[in-house]
Structure 1
Amino acid sequence: MRKEVHVFVLLALLGLSVAEEGARLLASKSLLNRYAVEGRDLTLQYNIYNVGSSYVAQEGGEVVVGFTSAPGQGGILAQREFDRRFSPHYLDWAAFGVMTLPSIGIPLLLWYSSKRKYDSPKTKKN
């Protein structure tokens, strides 16, 4: 009984594959940009696969239009938010450098003056 069911299913699948001749397209779409930013171009990649047995649906048939699903839900960043997150922040780093100069420079100057005062080279006596 079980073997007969397997044979029946196999014949049914074979019959379906023969009956569905023609082009059958699978299409997918994906976003190639890492971030979607307001006012910037998006790069989409479309993949189209023909899983049918022909390159046309039917000889002399009409054109069929299909749609792909959306690549999913994702946030679109505002240009200002994107710049705030990912810009190099040169002005911020310059301000940081200026503010750290006193805390590094003053101890360095004190150390250097002490070193010069107490570490004078000794003259050799012959």
Structure 2
Amino acid sequence: MRLFVVLFALAGIAFAEDAVPEAAAPLDSAHLLASKSSLSQYAVEGMDFVLEYHLHNVRWEKIAPGSEVTHAVTVRPRTYGGYNNTAAVVTYYPSDEAKEVRVGYTSASGEGYIFRLKDYERRFSPKAYVWLISALMCLPPFALIYYSWSSKANLYKDSTISKKSK
């Protein structure tokens, strides 16, 4: 009996509704989901830093349902140091007849650091890769010269050996 009362109370709590009615948005109005992301791996002083904004359509009739609109913004940081990447504000009218503007916010990546150009080049420059590629590009000419020399050297060695044996 106790178990029955506890289960009944839990079911009542689970299916209970709030007494305060919420102003529900009409079903035919637009709903947009917005996000903001960085396409650049590092923010570097004097180099391009690309931010991409995604707008996902949930219920906007003028855009195909489930489609996305993207917009990329290129920013070039002037100085190095810490920065705060805040959320962008998206404002739109939910329908053509709407009087009130709907406000939304994008996701924010938070704080980051802008590297000095010197430090970035020192840390991430591909010096070893450049030398390796240069060495690999030099190998074919040397290999061709060595092959030519060894084939001619073997040709002359055979003739000198055969003359001595006679």
- TM-score (normalised: structure 1): 0.50
The higher-RCO structure (CA 8 Å, 6+ apart) is 1
Question: What is the deviation of 1:67?
Answer: 2.9
**Match of residue 118 from structure 2:** 80
Q: Residue 34 of structure 2 contacts residue 104 of structure 2 at CA under 8 Å; is this kept in 1?
A: no
Greater strand content: 2
2:46 to 18, 39, 46: 39
Structure 1 position 50, deviation (Å)? 2.4
CA gap of 1:54–1:125, structure 2 versus 1, over 3 A, is: closer
1:57 paired to 2:83: no
**Please, which runs of 5 or more residues in structure 1 have no aligned partner?**
94-120
**Pair 1:48 & 2:55 matched:** yes
Equivalent residue, structure 1, for 2:165: 125
Residue correspondences, number: 95
| Residue segments in structure 2 that go unaligned for 5+ positions in a row | 1-7, 62-92, 132-159
Query: 5 Å matches for 1:1-126?
Result: 19-21=24-26, 22-51=29-58, 53-55=59-61, 56-58=93-95, 59-89=97-127, 124-126=164-166
Q: 1:87 to 1:62 in 2, by over 3 A?
A: same
User: Alpha-carbon deviation of 1:72?
Assistant: 3.3
Q: TM-score, normalised by structure 2?
A: 0.40
Root mean square deviation of aligned Cα: 4.0
Structure whose alpha-carbon radius of gyration is higher: 1
